[in-house]
Structure 1
């Protein structure tokens, strides 16, 4: 089987309400959808949700890289040869993990459909039956975040990921307001998205939060400052998760060597897709580090890919893949039994993609054969 054509669509996914984190506010989520067709007529879908603050890629840049470099590099290749596909992409382009994930995910979708099994059967088989879904609270006033949390508890949610990362003591007020509103039985995870920058500020915040019974604290310091994570971990009894500080094997080796985190947040858009995500999970497992699968707020395509990885390995203890729940219109039909997710047994990603919605949301598109389909 060979890849014969790759269609690339740059779309804007409409959010129900703005998504606010420490470094940006999103009214829509820019995404790139790949549609890979093979000589056997099997079609697979992939997704890239680049973030210049995290992956180092812009939406426009990732699109152009897929069009001019990555897609041409894999035309004619067998989509089931994952190692070779990644080797070709790595030789063609340095880094660019989200763009590479768009190819990787589509290849796994094809492989599953070819072999008539779900993707998770290709990477270890199904271990988990279901995962609880954590609701993500965007940055807002303490009152607004507490009210939203209370409403979600009524809907059945038992855990929250709080986005903070402004002034540390204002963030403390937000966290205390939510804890007081939902009580001690609800799990609260705090994601700073690097917003506290250094160990000193982070430790100041943690001292003020000593009685808040946090599940864990995620990426409080600048991404490249692994040593600051080491200092925070050594001086605090709150579990520490690394996110933006982990991209690929280079960072994972340093995290393991320095024992810089209790948990790692693996995202397909940061590491390059399903295949490299599994490599990171194996490394973490050998080091006794728990894993989470997170997302860059992806559609049903990218979210399903992340779920297949999470469901296939014991080392994954949590998931944060709630993009489809945040969109007013999605390109696929990934199903949530709120507050749980339980994957189906359909082949490939198990997601039906509506190409009419892709075209509706599309800003520009192309095929690697050079036939323009948009208005670049």
Structure 2
């Protein structure tokens, strides 16, 4: 199976409601689609969201990286030369992890198709079903409480609540949500780097004292501030998860060695794809650190790839793969099946993606 062409396209999918965090607000998914074509007719699919505020990767950067660096490196090569393909992909350009992730997942898709096996079974095959949380965007307390109620009414029993925007208001936000949904619903919070270390310790202590029963807090401080992250971890009883601080396997290893966080969030766009995400999972197994498999604001091609990894490895105990259910429609044919919080991985060879509707090709 030889790589003969790499095509790029764009998709635009409106969201049910605007997605708001401490660092950005968006109303639609605007992603780059990668198709890797082969001489057998098999096609592998990948996807990358332009998330400049987190990864530094804009749409133009993703497209340029694939066209000018990645495609010339891979064209004409055999899919079953897999390890060398992965090394070439990671080495042909610095950073640009979103572009690498999109191509990485398309290559895994083809590799599974070549050997007629689903990717999740190649990677371990631990389970075929997972349960995701759903994100509650940062807004006024009353609006967040309404959104939380709507999510619970849809069947979700685990809510990831965005905070980190106006620290004094964050406590009121969580109090309003907890009052609305009761004690039987899990609440996780994500500050998206929105607090200073001492501020984080103070506000998290207030949340503890208020009996809000927070499962964990994600990325309370700036991504580069590992000392501050460790300070928070050492001074609160709420478990701390590193997210933006984990820009790849080396960062994850440093955090685990420092014990700067209790948990680690693996995201394909930051890791550069499944190949590097597996390294983070393996390190976490060695250090006894549980992981969450998360996503940016992505449609189902890339979320589907993350689902395969989540279904493969038991060290991944928490799931935040709600991108597709935040959208008003699903233009992706095949792949995992979503029934709100319940996700079932595809048993089709590779990643199981059959095509993408409403795609605008760039060639």
Same fold (TM over 0.5): yes
In 2, Cα distance between equivalents of 1:303 and 1:119: 13
In 1, Cα distance between equivalents of 2:81 and 2:226: 34
In 2, Cα distance between equivalents of 1:104 and 1:78: 14
Determine the structure 2 residue equivalent to 1:373: none
- Compare 204-213 and 326-335 and name the one that shifted more: 326-335
In 2, Cα distance between equivalents of 1:44 and 1:170: 45
In 2, Cα distance between equivalents of 1:298 and 1:132: 17
Runs of 4+ in 1 over 4 A off after TM superposition: none
The alignment status of 1:221 with 2:221, answered yes or no, reads yes
Unaligned 5+ runs, structure 1? 367-376
In 2, Cα distance between equivalents of 1:86 and 1:239: 34
The answer to whether the Cα contact below 8 Å between 1:12 and 1:28 also exists between their aligned partners in 2 is yes
- Equivalent runs, 1:16-31 vs 2, <5 Å: 16-31=16-31
Aligned to 2:297, what secondary structure does the other structure show? coil
Determine the structure 2 residue equivalent to 1:278: 278
The answer to whether the Cα contact below 8 Å between 1:330 and 1:357 also exists between their aligned partners in 2 is no
In 1, Cα distance between equivalents of 2:332 and 2:41: 20
Structure 1 pair 299/99, CA: closer, same or farther in 2 (3 Å)? Answer: same
The alignment status of 1:324 with 2:321, answered yes or no, reads no
Aligned to 1:165, what secondary structure does the other structure show? coil
Determine the structure 2 residue equivalent to 1:344: 346
- Compare 345-354 and 280-289 and name the one that shifted more: 345-354
Determine the structure 2 residue equivalent to 1:87: 87
The answer to whether the Cα contact below 8 Å between 2:15 and 2:27 also exists between their aligned partners in 1 is yes
Determine the structure 2 residue equivalent to 1:207: 205
The answer to whether the Cα contact below 8 Å between 2:226 and 2:260 also exists between their aligned partners in 1 is yes
- Compare 107-116 and 307-316 and name the one that shifted more: 107-116
Q: CA deviation at 1:350?
A: 1.9
In 2, Cα distance between equivalents of 1:157 and 1:273: 28
TM (normalized to structure 2)?
A: 0.95
Q: CA deviation at 1:140?
A: 1.2
Number of aligned positions between the proteins: 359
Cα deviation 1:182-239 (Å, max 9, x = unaligned) = 111110000000011x211101111210121100000010001111111111111100
The answer to whether the Cα contact below 8 Å between 1:123 and 1:312 also exists between their aligned partners in 2 is yes
Determine the structure 1 residue equivalent to 2:63: 63
TM (normalized to structure 1)?
A: 0.92
In 2, Cα distance between equivalents of 1:216 and 1:285: 20
- Equivalent runs, 1:134-283 vs 2, <5 Å: 134-196=133-195, 198-210=196-208, 211-283=211-283
Aligned residues: CA RMSD: 1.4
Aligned to 1:241, what secondary structure does the other structure show? strand
Q: CA deviation at 1:299?
A: 1.3
Unaligned 5+ runs, structure 2? none
In 2, Cα distance between equivalents of 1:93 and 1:344: 32
Cα deviation 1:116-137 (Å, max 9, x = unaligned) = 211112212x212422221110
Structure 1 pair 93/177, CA: closer, same or farther in 2 (3 Å)? Answer: same
Aligned to 1:35, what secondary structure does the other structure show? strand
In 2, Cα distance between equivalents of 1:40 and 1:272: 27
Q: CA deviation at 1:54?
A: 1.4
Determine the structure 2 residue equivalent to 1:6: 6
Determine the structure 2 residue equivalent to 1:374: none
In 2, Cα distance between equivalents of 1:348 and 1:90: 21
